[in-house]
Structure 1
Amino acid sequence: MANIKYEIKENIGTLSESSKGWTKELNLISWNNRDPKYDLRDWDCEKEKMGKGITLSKEELKVLRDMLNEMDL
């Protein structure tokens, strides 16, 4: 499996923490030296291991925000 390079440019916030110390976070991340994207996924406490996640452009994040704002939660 190829190595994936990433750099967390900004931590937007933490949504939750599991009993094992992993946190679900929204971050702005540069993957393989590309332009940063918004990323939602689980991370271990050292930020070395990660779970599956979703990456969104700024435009996609705005659409998601608008969808969530229209929901009756």
Structure 2
Amino acid sequence: MAEIKFEITQHIGVLSESAKGWRKELNLVSWNGREPKFDIREWAPEYAKMGKGITLSQEEIKNLQALLADK
């Protein structure tokens, strides 16, 4: 299995933290050298491991903001 390379280009914020120290964060992340996307996922302390997450383009994050603003 190929190694996944990532770079957190901008830390936006922490959404929650578990008792074991894993934090659900919103960041801008570049995956395998590609253009950074908004990324929501859980990270182990020191970013040693990561959980499953979701990435969103700039357009998708704007659409999400609009949907949340209507609630």
Task: Please tell me the TM-score bracket, short chain as reference.
Answer: over 0.9
Distance 1:51 1:62 in 2: 24
Residues paired across the two proteins, number: 71
Alignment of 1:1-73 (within 5 A): 1-71=1-71
**Please, what TM-score do these two structures have when normalized by structure 2?**
0.97
CA RMSD of aligned residues (A): 0.5
Letter in 2 for 1:48: A
Distance 1:29 1:48 in 2: 15
Residue segments in structure 1 that go unaligned for 5+ positions in a row? none
Residue segments in structure 2 that go unaligned for 5+ positions in a row? none
Letter in 2 for 1:55: T
Runs in 1 of length 4+ with deviation above 3 angstroms? none
Identity of matched residues, %: 62
SS in structure 2 opposite 1:14? strand
